[in-house]
Amino acid sequence: MTTEQPDGAHAPRPLDRRSPLPLWAQLFADLRRRMEAGAFTEEFPAEHRLTGEYEVSRHTVREALRKLRADGLVIAERGRASRLDTRRIQQPLGSLYSLFRELEGQGVEQRSEVLRLERTVDGTVAGHLGLVADAPLVVLERLRLADGEPLAHDTAYLPAEIAEPLLAADFGHTSLYGELSRRCSVKVTGGRERIQPFLPDVRQAWLLGLADREAAFAIERLGRAGERPVEWRETVVRGDRFSFVAEWSDESRAVALAPRAAASAATSTSPVASAPAVPCPSV
């Protein structure tokens, strides 16, 4: 059985053979812990090394590695050593979150191709924002790139009366919420999102580099400044490069499940009645 080594968080921890949790599941959990602590950045250990470090069978190691690959955390290719999938971006649920800052913090180059930045009118979106149908809006449509590879197709609508100054902004390498705060003195403080599996249309699949019928995530977001709705956003995110992570405790606020939310939608006129109660990320 292994013991903690001087490198601390990067070192393997002993597995508990008296635990009801299978050894492969314990191994999987400890490898994830080490990954999150920054281990394996240069190379991922081979099977024989893991069997020695944890004093387990090769079958146990292979089961843990199979789960890591299934979760998109490790890439295994014929003829090459396994390696971490550093392309996957994790977004925490239940907190304000900046994709722009997170990518920069991970050393990932974040930039956007601006596809549209203009005034527009959209009755459906205006309804989401609590505005009259012909209220002028500012629309920002972007293709979000991480290390030069497509990550998300993002379209945000804001009331023109507060967002007009954004028309002069360069969104190639900056965040919407940052510019909204700087140019318009408006700070998004919360909101709600609905996240669900989605099949992109032909244009979205082409922009994101997805194969035909390859699934993605669809995110609808209503952002608020205080109690006022100030943003309606529709985002399509590549499923192979993005994952959502939630931390919880016995003090966590409950999150509405989809069937219950859908049922409540039938008795509510709110445009986000079916959305889980998840504070929106700041991107």
Structure-model confidence comparison of residues 144 and 249, the more confident one: 144
Mean pLDDT along residues 89-109? 58
Which segment, 74-88, 130-144, 145-159, 255-269, is predicted with the most confidence on average? 130-144
Which one has a higher pLDDT value, 181 or 105? 181
Please check whether residue 142 is in contact with residue 235, taking contact to mean a CB–CB distance below 8 angstroms.
no
What percent of the chain has pLDDT above 90? 40
Q: What is the pLDDT of residues 41-86, one digit of tens each?
A: 767 888 888 999 999 999 999 898 888 877 667 765 555 556 555 5
Round to the nearest angstrom and report the end-to-end CA distance of the chain: 45
Rounded CA separation 43/39 (Å)? 9
Give me the mean pLDDT over the 168-176 stretch.
Answer: 91
The pLDDT assigned to 114 comes to 96
- With vertex at residue 261, the alpha carbon angle to CA 259 and CA 266, rounded to the nearest 5 degrees, is 100
Q: What is the mean pLDDT of residues 127-145?
A: 96
Looking at 20, 54, 84, the residue that finishes a domain is 84
pLDDT at 193: 85
User: For residue range 9-26, what is the model confidence (pLDDT) as tens digits?
Assistant: 788 999 999 999 999 999
Query: Are residues 133 and 15 part of one domain?
Result: no
User: CA angle, corner 44, sides to 40 and 47, nearest 5?
Assistant: 140
Question: Residue 197, exposed/middle/buried by CB under 10 A (0-12, 13-18, 19+)?
Answer: exposed
What is the rounded CA–CA span in Å between residue 132 and residue 159?
A: 11
Selection from 100, 187, 214 nearest residue 146 by Cα: 100
pLDDT at 72: 64
> What confidence score (pLDDT) does residue 110 get?
78
β-bridge partners, 216: 198, 238
Report pLDDT digits (tens) over 209-228.
Answer: 888 788 888 989 999 999 99
Average pLDDT over the chain reads: 79
Question: Over 70: is that where the pLDDT of 277 sits?
Answer: no
Highest average pLDDT, of 37-41, 157-161, 275-279, comes from: 157-161
* Cβ atoms of 24 and 64 closer than 8 Å: yes
CATH of the domain at 58: 1.10.10.10
Residue 143 CB neighbours (<10 A): 17
Per the structure block, which two tokens stand in for 186?
A: 């408006």
Q: Tokens for 283?
A: 């991107």
Q: How far is CA 26 from CA 5, 61, 75, 124, 170, in A?
A: 18, 10, 20, 49, 48
Largest interatomic CA distance in the chain: 69
Residues 110 and 80 in one domain: no
Q: Do 129 and 99 share a structural domain?
A: yes
Could you say which of 53, 69, 84 is where a domain stops?
84
- Mean pLDDT for 138-153 is 89
Instruction: List the domain range (segments joined by +) for residue 57.
Output: 7-84
Q: Does 259 fall in a domain? A: no
Domain identity same for 76 and 160:
no
pLDDT > 90? residue 278? no
Of the three residues 63, 84, 105, the one that is the final residue of a domain is 84
Q: What is the pLDDT of residue 282?
A: 45
Cα atoms found within 13 Å of the Cα of residue 80, Cβ hemisphere only: 8
Predicted model pTM: 0.61
Q: What is the mean pLDDT of residues 227-241?
A: 89
Asked whether residue 170 falls in the same domain as residue 44, the answer is no
Domain count, the chain: 2
Q: Residue 267: its pLDDT value, please?
A: 41
Q: Do 232 and 134 share a domain, yes or no? A: yes
